[in-house]
Structure 1
Amino acid sequence: AKALEWMQELVIPGSEVLDVRDVKATAGRIKGTLSSKQHGFEDKLSMVVAEASVDVLPKNPLNFNVDNVRTTKIPGSSLSDCTVVQGMVIRRGVEGTIRSQKNAKVAVFGCAVDTSTTETKGTVLISSASELEAYSKGEEAKME
């Protein structure tokens, strides 16, 4: 009996009516549930969840389907970067980037890795294809 009396004192005036199309009012209701799961992030997350929920809310709010709101983690981002995206987000791996390699040999250089430029300039007279090939091989050998 005493608990029922205390409950009446804890009810916030005006909280018995909720406009489900109002993002701020909906976020206030969601905040309590989110704070038990993501403590410290409930303010940001409640606004994002409320915005997403109101965006997909049908004309009859009783037909709301939670499957119409999808969450996904973007690698490299944090909870403070969360936002609502209109449309569909399909998460998939990055193409063209090596994510794992077995028996890899790795070298770490503390300087630029490129070919050095030649210090002198000269003119070479080449009269045949064999001379050009020999000159090219000689230059490659000097570079190594």
Structure 2
Amino acid sequence: MINVRELEEVIDLMNRSSVQKIHIEHEGTTVIIDKAEATAVPPKREQAEQHHVQTRAVENSYEEKEDQVDGDTQQHQVLSPMVGTFYSRPEEDADPFVQVGSKIKSNDTVGIIEAMKLFNDVEAGVDGEVTEVLVDDGQVVEFGQPLFVVK
């Protein structure tokens, strides 16, 4: 596992330098930080400096789990791509990104995970309907932890 404090130092160094992209692999965990892909976070998040770094699931970083249910119906779990605090809505007074019954596309944002004051979109990764929400807003989540069930 990559040490969070060391990763935070790397990000600080990148912000003070002209380095645009860094790729770190350590003990099966991969982190890609790309300034060119950074975008703004909704304005009502915490008062702290806010950055949004788009994270990409790297091949073999985590796998989507599937269970066969009722013949042709597949249930998929949307897994957390990282350790951090899960937020179900873009800002405190907004509606959640998704809830039970929401129809989603694979590239839809279903939540945000904050790690080291960086806000990272969590994409569904699958088309379907949300049948279960497995985590609460503001809950700390682990890498690979199921967040939603989609059929």
TM-score interval for Structure 1 and Structure 2 normalised by the shorter chain: under 0.3
- Give the TM-score of the pair, scaled to structure 2: 0.22
The structure with the greater share of residues assigned to strand is 2
- Give the TM-score of the pair, scaled to structure 1: 0.22
- Larger radius of gyration between Structure 1 and Structure 2: 1
